[in-house]
Amino acid sequence: MDTRKRPPRQPKTPRIIWNGPDNPTNQVATTLGIPRWRLRTAVHEIKKRSKLGARDGITIYDDGTVRDANGEHVGDIYEDSRAD
């Protein structure tokens, strides 16, 4: 039996996969594991609901978190890309 003590598991820090005012690319959708049209749908809803303009920049993380240019949490790609 292995009695060595394992180090505590560190929570994974979400990684930025998109940052800017333009439309996120297919690579972002692939990283999140969803079709690009679902990603675009989610980004549109999040921006409209949050009173962000089309050209306002957002940051998307690999766990689906979306933050505005001030770093405020404004939504989640997975929540907003669910099937209609």
Partner 1 sequence: MSEISTKTVAQTETLNAFATLRFSGDRLEPDRVTGILGIQPTTAYRKGDVYRQSRGHEVRGRTGVWYLSTRRCVDSNQLADHLRHLTAVVSPEGRADHILALRDLMARDGLEADVSCFWYGGAGAHSPEIPAFARDVFARLGAAIELDFDTD
Report the chain's C-alpha Rg in angstroms.
16
Candidate residues 19, 31, 59, 65; the one interacting with partner 1 per rule CB under 8 A:
65
Q: Which two tokens stand for residue 80?
A: 């907003």
| 75 near partner 1, judged by CB under 8 A | yes
| 21 near partner 1, judged by CB under 8 A | no
Where do contacts with partner 1 occur on this chain (CB under 8 A)? Answer: 23, 26, 35-38, 40-41, 44-45, 48-51, 54, 63, 65, 72-76, 79, 84
